[in-house]
Structure 1
Amino acid sequence: MTTTEIHNFLLDEPCVCDISVQENKQYKKHSYLYVITCGLVVETTQFPLIIGIPEDWEQNLFDFYIGDDFNRPFLPHVETYNKLCLFDLEGALIDQDFFGLLSQCIHKAITLLSDGLNEKNKIDLIHEFSSYWNALPNSLYSCCTAQFSADIGSLRYVKKVVHQSRSRTDSYKFFISEDCGAFSDWGINETQKIGGFICLSPKEYLYPPDPRSELSLSYINDLLRQVPSPKLRTSFRKIGCDKLLVFFIHQPDETETLLGVFAPKSEFTEVDGYYQLRLENGTTLYPLSIQRVDSNYLLQRTAHSQDSVHRCLIIGCGSIGGYLASQLVQSGISDLTLIDPDKITPENIYRHYLGRAYIGQYKAEALSNRLQTDIPNLKIKSIPETIQYALENYDINFAQYSIIVSATGNHNVNRWINRQLISAHIQVPTFYVWNEPLDLGCHVAIINNAGAASYEDLFYHDSTSGDLYDLTAYCAPGQKITRQVSGCSNSFVPYAATVSIKSAALCVDSIFAYFDQRYRPNSVISLKGDAFYFKKAGFKMSPVFLAQNDSMQVTPLDQLVPLDGVTS
């Protein structure tokens, strides 16, 4: 397209006037392929409009701005520097038809501005409250782990100095929590001070202030007038002259709004039965841009919306166990016991969650340290011993847990675990996960240790040959799959880290599916690989692999039977 083609196209748009198109121009420090200036008539108002067309418009769309000299009202979806937020591009497909897309954006801008002038989309100010609050002048960054379980309370905060080389002035950031111990969990050791929080449930919406102006003291005092002073005295009496206040607002439509303010050199005065904040002359009132870092909030981005109450025992912290533990804590299970007697060795690092920085460390202890560094608020106990030794010599018992996972990949260890659970009548759901060689696949067996089902149901004893066969195996029997590096003690089954990651994901999904009652107990879930490398190595697949038509299959243990057939 050319400047003339764009100009002529816009002439046909009835709400667009006073058109000018310039090529290779800058606007608001952005370089554009074309910059269009025009008038956009919305009802009885003509908005001065600037449209920036970037070179990569196929990926990032067009930028629409209202002219800076125009005295516009405070409108939803218009940022402080007058850019219109037309579309949420997350996951959106952008039409590659330039003129069709330009027309669509113009009509979207008309609708957005018309709805703003008529207050039809005023509720969007509530849904996007944080973005307007964070854009206020003098805003300071803060992160907060508080849960706000009460209506009113005290909290602790740490103010850290941030040196800004460009402006040559210092700024601040804050860490806020109700829990004193949370600071050390985040590596914060500075002096803690006392602030306060108030949870509000107004009958009418509380709208954000206009971010084009500094936060007014009257806005905060209006919030304080929501709660009579007698309710605040006990919780706020220890707050010093530097006051940090957090307001957690439950809007009438149940939208939650979190905002904070830092008022140095200030005091509370009581006016008509309400606390009011008064600043010392020349003192700046700082809005706090609060980033929530509590687990309940952060888990909203996952499929699991709240911290799980499960206690999980993981036996085996090798290739599967490492990825499995990581995925479990990222799914909200925060209470783990990790058991593994082995240390990380150099040959582990290409298929283990832990890398070379942990070589020489016990897997259980190293995994615990890594997880607690990455994820807050975890409760992890690590035992660098075998499960047999741990049960005899440590203060643990199978019955203490709501989930048991064996990620040893060893049928003999799994059979021992299952016998212990059955003999002690412990009906904790137990998940046994293991890999097949190379890229054949993986399995998860779910056994709740009630009734007649047991781990032994996975095997078939051939009375003629005397051999014991795995009824789930994708690998045909009678083949030597293990490899050796330096003697029998260093033999291993070859498979890539990607297989262990799939096994871990299958196990985690199976755990949540079980508790959601989507999987029945005493079943085995089998996930087929494509067997490309397995066949390339000259190995043969079992009739079980060949007979499974779907990539994933769930089979009750009492339906496992030997399959006859030709291997391939």
Structure 2
Amino acid sequence: MHKQVYEFLLKNGIDCNYDAEKDEINIYITLEDFKYELYMKFPLYYPYEFPELYINNTNGLMIPHMYTGNRLCLYDTNEVLPNPQNFLQDALDSVIRAKSLLTDSKNKENMIDYQLETVSFWEAKVFGRVDYLGGKNLTTHLLWRYEWLEGYNIVADEKEKITEFINNSYGVNPKKMFYKRALFINIGKNILVNLKNIKDIQELIPESDLSQFYGFLIKNSGKGLIILYADNGVGKCIFSLEISLSSYGVKLSRRSIKGVLVANKRRTFKRFKTRNFQMQRLFTRGGDGNVCFDKRCLLIGCGSIGSYVSKAIIDIGITDNITLLDNDFLETENLARHLCGSDHLCLLTSKAEALKLELLKHYPAMQCNSINENAWEYFLNRCTELNSFDLILVCVGNTVIEKKVIQLLKDNQIEKECIILWVEPYLVAGHALVFQGEIGETTEKNIFDVNGMFNNNVLVDSRKYLKSEAGCQSAYAPYSGFEVQKFVLDFLDIYYRKIYTKKEKHNYEFTWIGKMKWARQQKFKIKSKWRSKEDRFMELRRIDN
């Protein structure tokens, strides 16, 4: 097959020869009297993958689309796929693309491509790796740096975030951690072509940030890790590098630093591959980038419903800062319908702490705190602290607590938006109350019946469908993990599209119908309003008008 490719290229006027020993095709492309030598290699799964072309000597060409090892990048395989039935034409097209790439590079007609490929170029020759756990501060500022292994650095705004990351991601808790400082510099929109030495880096730094740059180098004896935050014209990107100045016997100071930098202007630096864990980056590259993260949330109740709510409000882009409150412990009985797994059962762990660790495994740079306390402590004695949050979500499945929350809202002791979620046995139905405005007489009439109980339940006396095991305090509402996830995701989808993004503030009731058909077959007592509804029916209605 490979020799067949060679013969086809030769037939189509390509200057080439076949190296049978290496099973490669040597290809020669002449531009302005200089002959560039390339060779074509065939990947393991050829022709289901494109052939690979490498250039032996770039002869000073600045080629924007090139991998490590001088392999030319000729296709974006997310957009173009090989055609195994027409593999000969694929090979010829690859050579034609390579010639076009070299011609454009020779004539410097693809400099804009070089700018766009800056990250790929940077990472082609790296010394090590940096895991960046920075927050939302994009101004030039100091960071903490921990070199865990040689060439592997973890960088964050706070030391605790680094420790947290190592513990959650690798299951290791280092006893002695020696931290250094790193410097984050926002260089804005800049030309990022051909960065080779310290002078090139210094010229990228805004005039207003040079003083901080000088001070950082002075304090760290001319050495240090720099994180550059840049706009390459297409998007935001991060570059990590380590500078090491030679002082030439001169003591570094505010008076001498500029001269020392001039003396080191041709000195090279160490490049690092950066893994950017910033929330905005994760949701731009791993999503559609349409996230706000503008709410500081408090989640009260970290059981089944609460665990899935916590993940969903992050995934949908509402928050990257959440505090979890629950004094219950995670048990084996929780696993089938909880976000957390058995890895949190080695030691007795509160649901709040287990959920925090689980969320941080997904999103190491987010802000997440856990409070292992009884919710009544806050409702009765520390209510004002609740108002430090933008959004409070209550997922406790306890009517007494839920009614207390509503009373606190009515009395204006809780002044922030509040959502209460609960489900009925077997998840015949799920419910949510959203309070954004004042709780007046109309809202109360829509929520409570004449006996002061919630009037929007679907089952008649849902308590009779609870289950119990041996021992006291063993009653529980049976429902599956799949059903509760479906309820949570459906509600938050409706909430995000029809409530969260609206400027008007109102109070709402949401009802979700789950296993209604099954409940009818089991002869459950169902309120007439809901008896004919089909599974997955949803209703959102205003309750303040």
TM-score bracket for this pair, using the shorter chain length = 0.7 to 0.9
- 2:40 aligns with 50
Q: After TM superposition, give the deviation of residue 321 of structure 1 in Å.
A: 0.8
Deviation at 1:406, TM superposition (A): 1.7
CA distance in 2, matches of 1:506, 1:135: 44
Change (3 A) 1:223 1:383: closer
Q: 1:174 to 1:436 in 2, by over 3 A?
A: same
Letter in 2 for 1:380: N
After TM superposition, give the deviation of residue 141 of structure 1 in Å: 1.8
Q: 1:262 aligns with which of 231, 243, 259?
A: 243
Do the aligned residues in 2 keep the contact of 1:262 with 1:288 (CA within 8 Å)?
no
Q: What is the aligned-residue identity percentage?
A: 17
| Partner secondary structure for residue 114 of structure 2 | helix
Displacement of 1:289 in angstroms is 3.0
Q: What amino acid sits opposite 1:239 in the alignment?
A: N
CA distance in 2, matches of 1:310, 1:26: 60
Q: Which of 18, 38, 52 is 1:64 aligned to?
A: 52
- Contact kept, 8 Å, 1:3 with 1:21, in 2: the verdict is no
Which is helix-richer, 1 or 2? 2
2:219 to 234, 238, 263: 238
Deviation sequence 1:68-89 (CA, Å, 0-9, x none): 3564722111113122223334
The match for 1:391 is: 379
Aligned pair partner of 1:516 in 488, 493, 501: 501
2:489 aligns with 505
Count how many residue pairs are aligned between Structure 1 and Structure 2.
Answer: 524
Q: Would the aligned equivalents of 2:146 and 2:179 in 1 still touch at CA under 8 Å?
A: yes
For residue 134 of structure 1, report the CA deviation from its aligned partner. Answer: 2.0
Task: For 2:410 and 2:228, locate their aligned partners in 1 and report how far apart those are by CA, in whole Å.
Answer: 52
Check if 1:338 corresponds to 2:340. no
Pairing 1:291-330 to 2, within 5 Å after superposition: 291-300=275-284, 301-302=286-287, 308-329=293-314
Q: Is the 8 A contact 1:324 1:507 kept in 2?
A: no
The separation in 1 between residues aligned to 2:211 and 2:433, in whole angstroms, is: 59
Q: Normalising to structure 1: TM-score of the pair?
A: 0.73
Q: Work out which of the residue numbers 125, 138, 151 in structure 2 matches 1:172.
A: 151
SS at match of 1:454: helix
Superposition pairs for residues 274-423 of structure 1, below 5 Å? 276=261, 278=263, 285-300=269-284, 301-302=286-287, 308-329=293-314, 331=317, 333-356=319-342, 357-358=344-345, 360-368=348-356, 370-371=358-359, 375-376=364-365, 378-385=367-374, 387-394=375-382, 396-411=384-399, 413-423=401-411
- Mapping 1:463-474, distance limit 5 Å: 471=456, 473=458
Alignment of 1:409-448 (within 5 A): 409-411=397-399, 413-424=401-412, 426-438=414-426, 440=428, 442-448=430-436
Matched residue, 1:565: none
Partner amino acid for 2:332? P
Mean CA deviation greater in 120-129 or 285-294:
285-294
CA distance in 2, matches of 1:347, 1:218: 61
The answer to whether the 8 A contact 1:78-1:85 is kept is: yes
Pick from 525, 530, 538: which aligns with 1:553? 538
Is it true that 1:192 corresponds to 2:190 in the alignment?
no
Q: Is the 8 A contact 1:147 1:294 kept in 2?
A: yes
Residues 98 and 129 of structure 1: CA distance in aligned 2, closer, same or farther (over 3 Å): same
Unaligned runs of 5+ in 2: 167-173
Gap runs ≥5 in structure 1: 28-34, 163-170, 210-214, 561-568
Root-mean-square deviation over aligned CA pairs: 4.8
Question: Distance between the aligned counterparts of 1:174 and 1:556, measured in 2?
Answer: 52
Asked whether 1:494 is paired with 2:515, we answer: no
**Cα separation, partners in 2 of 1:559 and 1:388, compared to 1, 3 Å:** closer
Report Cα offsets for 1:243-263 as digits up to 9, x if no partner.
Answer: 444444455777555342231
Q: 1:279–1:173: structure 2 CA closer, same or farther, 3 Å change rule?
A: farther
Q: Which residue of 2 aligns with 1:212?
A: none
CA contact under 8 A between 1:152 and 1:235: conserved in structure 2? Answer: no
Q: Whose strand proportion is higher, 1 or 2? A: 1
Question: What do residues 108-150 of structure 1 show as CA deviations (whole Å, max 9, x unaligned)?
Answer: 545544443443332222222222112225x222233456958
SS at structure 2 position matched to 1:490: coil
